[in-house]
A and B are shown apart, each in its own frame.
Chain A
Amino acid sequence: MNARTARQWMVTHEWMVKPMAQTEWIEGKGLMVWLAEVFSALGTGLYLVALFLGLKEEFALTAFWAGLLGWVGIAIFKLPLHAFYLGKWYRFWRAFPPFSKAWRTSWFARGIVFTMIFLAFGAIQLVLQGLIGYKVVAFASGAMDANYVFMVLAGVFCVMTAVYCGFAMSYCKSVPFWNTGLLPIVFLFMGVADGLALAMATGLVAGQEVTEIAEQATRIMLILNSLLIVAYLVNANYQSETAELSVKELVRGHVAWVFWLGIVILGILVPFIISVTSYFSGPSSLGLLVFAICCHTIGAFSLKYGVLKVGIYRPLLPKAHAY
């Protein structure tokens, strides 16, 4: 046993006296949490947009495929990524009622319950939407009435699935940057904006012209998101010293490139410029649209990465200058 190993327990724990970033949910295996959260935002955003598209007969097919992609994003990517992150993944069932009543207090447990209910209602709604999209049944029929019911049910649980991770993070008093009610709203709105971009892509593939309506909505969502992000950062900046440190780290620190390049330029500015340009000079070219959609998606990955990465713990003792 070397000297270093021998004194493992004799060193203090810097994360308790220095404002240090959490690593559990962003480093090593923790990257799975990041990816799961991204797929959660993209999946729920896309599904919500699909619900709105499904209200119009001419977009029924796009609504079906967009909804299906969103559903798959949650069922095939988000949930397995979350499960494989766990130390004991085969105990995943322990979070579900009736095996656990933790959903009463735990946002994590609530999120799993919301997700499962959303997947169940979403599956039924997608079957109905598929029948309508492929004109197996008429749009103005009983199937559409049933579809409306499941749209509402799936939509409610989709929103809950979209916001729960924000609430789970904002519950943590130890990380002041997350400890704000704005976080779930930021995640929800960014998810919807990304969903609009992906819905445009789905429309292109499905051969239905949803670009115009999606771009109109995108313009509003991007302005709203920019304001929300600014409000979030300003709020964090004045919330506590540790949260201020998180903001500095995000804006000027070693993850600044993720913020400026990923979130601001690719996630907001580029798609916004492209959509504004199309407003004045007619529809954008296919290449430009694909580029905007890619930028949007990179923005979704960057936002979650940045927020998770600068989640700095408040030190156990009041002040440390070592950071």
Chain B
Amino acid sequence: MARWGMVINLAKCTRCHACVAACRIEHFLPLRVTWPRLIALEVDEGYKVDVSTYPVRCNQCKDAPCVDACPTEASYKREDGIVAIDHDKCFGCRYCIIACPYQNRTYLSRKRDPGWFPGHPKTSIEKKGEKLYPHQRGTTEKCNFCMERIDEGLPKGLKPGIDRDATPACVNTCQAKALTFGDLDDPNSNVSRLLREKSGFVLHPEYGTDPSVYYIDYKLGGNDNTAPRESQTGYVVQHLSTVYEPSKAKLAVKHERGKKAVKDNCE
């Protein structure tokens, strides 16, 4: 049986957010829920500053703490290595959210799912989307490697990672080809070849969860390609939120400056 995995080449990622958008469209995600996420990490080594974008999602761990923690067996591990959630069994205790060492699970509350246009009636597209991919409030959600696509593609003889119809939406849409999907157990698969040639690391290997998402990045960790170490990432961590949205502190300063300017003008 295959064990589906993903290799993410950090050097190729352009932080375009296309994978995030593709996932939203594929699963008709509620407004404030995001399965794959992008994290910008700035590494300052004194003489050299490097910025990497880490696309993160559920690591589909081989030894998944969330599956062990789930009291209703709603979180389960499939034979192909994908950690899935049976939303009809989940009762929303959120133990899996806290147990996941990668913080990749989201509880779908009313706050996170206010409708696409809060305060307005649902559009026909929303209604169709809910039928196509029903999300249950009061349960937990996470990336599932687009298992519906894999399950539909395999009987048709399609190969996940090669044939688009059986490949996760984020991988299909990645214009920079930073994401590669395939069978980790097959030594000839594209992911195994990539890992063999360029080696790869997983986040927080010390947890012993054996994730199925690997990263390749020659900028961090040197040529031995290891997970970023604390000594390397000491100085500044830049968040995309600082790019797209001024922080509250910055807003406060701006507000104070504005008030001062108005006062000066009045005087």
Contacts and interface: CB of A to CB of B under 8 A. Distances in A.
A57 interface: no
A43 B256 CA distance: 52
A227 to B, nearest CB: 28
B236 A321 contact: yes
Interface of A: 1, 4-5, 7-18, 22, 24-25, 85-89, 91-92, 94-95, 100-103, 105-109, 112, 168, 171-175, 241, 311, 313-314, 316-322
B98 A174 contact: yes
B239 A17 contact: yes
B218 interface: no
B34 A17 contact: no
Given A100-B71, A105-B68, A316 B92 contact: no
Contact of B95 (A15, A18, A168): A168
Nearest to A110: B71
Contact of B92 (A13, A14, A88, A320): A88
Max count, chain A CB within 10 A of own CB: residue among B71, B92, B244: B71
Contacts of A171: 65, 68-69, 99
Interface of B (DSSP majority class): loop
B70 A92 contact: no
Interface stretch (B36-44, B144-152, B161-169, B178-186): B36-44
Interface in B229-252: 229-230, 232-237, 239-241, 244-245
Given A94-B91, A102-B72, A320 B237 contact: yes
B82 interface: no
Given A8-B31, A88-B138, A316-B39, A100 B94 contact: no
Contacts of A85: 93
Interface in B56-91: 56, 65, 67-74, 89-91
B17 interface: yes
Nearest to A90: B91
A132 to B, nearest CB: 37
A175 B100 CA distance: 10
Given A91-B72, A100-B71, A86 B37 contact: no
27 contacts: A4-B245, A8-B31, A10-B20, A10-B244, A11-B239, A12-B38, A15-B103, A16-B56, A17-B39, A24-B94, A86-B138, A87-B92, A87-B139, A88-B90, A88-B136, A94-B71, A106-B68, A108-B93, A168-B95, A171-B69, A173-B207, A316-B54, A317-B39, A317-B228, A318-B228, A318-B232, A319-B233
Contacts of B98: 22, 24-25, 172, 174-175, 311
